[in-house]
Amino acid sequence: MHKYDDVLPNTFIIGAAKAGTTSLFHLLQQHPQVFFSFDKEPKFFSDDEIFHKGLDWYCHTYFAKSAKFPIRAEATPHYLYWADKVAPRIKAAVADRPAKFIAILRNPIDRAYSWYWNMVVDGRESLPFADAIRAEESRIQENWSQLYPSGSMTYGYVRGGRYATQLKRYFDLFPKDQFLILLLEDLQKDQEKTVNDLLLFLGIDPNIELKLAQQNPS
């Protein structure tokens, strides 16, 4: 038995940003069979500085009291955005242990606009939306040496909506039956069915009443 077997997270909400990850986090937090990291977004696998603290630090810091829970989870939308480096890191960490991945997606245009306003509110964006879109690629390239190591999604308006490219990196490493792909629109229009699909995928009690409230709107 590996020393991490009882506390290593086995469920990852990997994104996308501004597509409902916070709503899923607060929804599943209500379930008695789910343990979530106290910080919704540990960013362990996406931020190089944090990642270099090691897997032992990660498990001890965020999941030390999780051993009795069948679902041990975290929700970091940066994991989908930075799939190229995150997916191999998660694969190495979980090895042959079972892991589940939840991706909740959104119309990429709406997602980009919502992320833009998130950046404006945070003080990281001063350009008008159309100008920010036009400047995206050049800004990412110019700031790559800062963005990549920190796993930052700054300027990633269009990039953050390239779901197929991002998910393929995970599908190359993990069986597709370990993934549940949801749409924010379905969660909003048919919450009961979407939540039922979610609980069925996780294999936990579907009879627990979970209440959805809008979270982190932009």
The pTM of the full predicted model, rounded to 2 decimals, is: 0.93
Q: What is the pLDDT of residues 22-40, one digit of tens each?
A: 999 999 999 999 999 999 9
pLDDT above 70 covers a percentage of the chain that reads: 96
Task: Give the Cα separation of 6 and 4 in Å (integer).
Answer: 6
Is 50 exceeded by the pLDDT of residue 1?
no
Q: Which of 174, 6, 178, 202 is nearest to 90 (CA)?
A: 174
| pLDDT reported for residue 2 | 58
- Bridge partners (DSSP) of residue 12 are 74, 101
Using a CB cutoff of 8 Å and minimum separation of 24, what contacts does 53-56 make?
55/4, 55/8, 55/93, 56/4
Question: Dihedrals φ, ψ of 207, to 5°?
Answer: -95, 5
Is 80 exceeded by the pLDDT of residue 20?
yes
Q: What is the pLDDT of residues 136-187, one digit of tens each?
A: 999 999 999 999 999 999 999 999 999 999 999 999 999 999 999 999 999 9
Query: What average pLDDT does the chain have?
Result: 94
Contact between 102 and 24 (Cβ < 8 Å): yes
Is the omega angle on the peptide bond into residue 99 within 30 degrees of 0, that is, cis? Answer: no
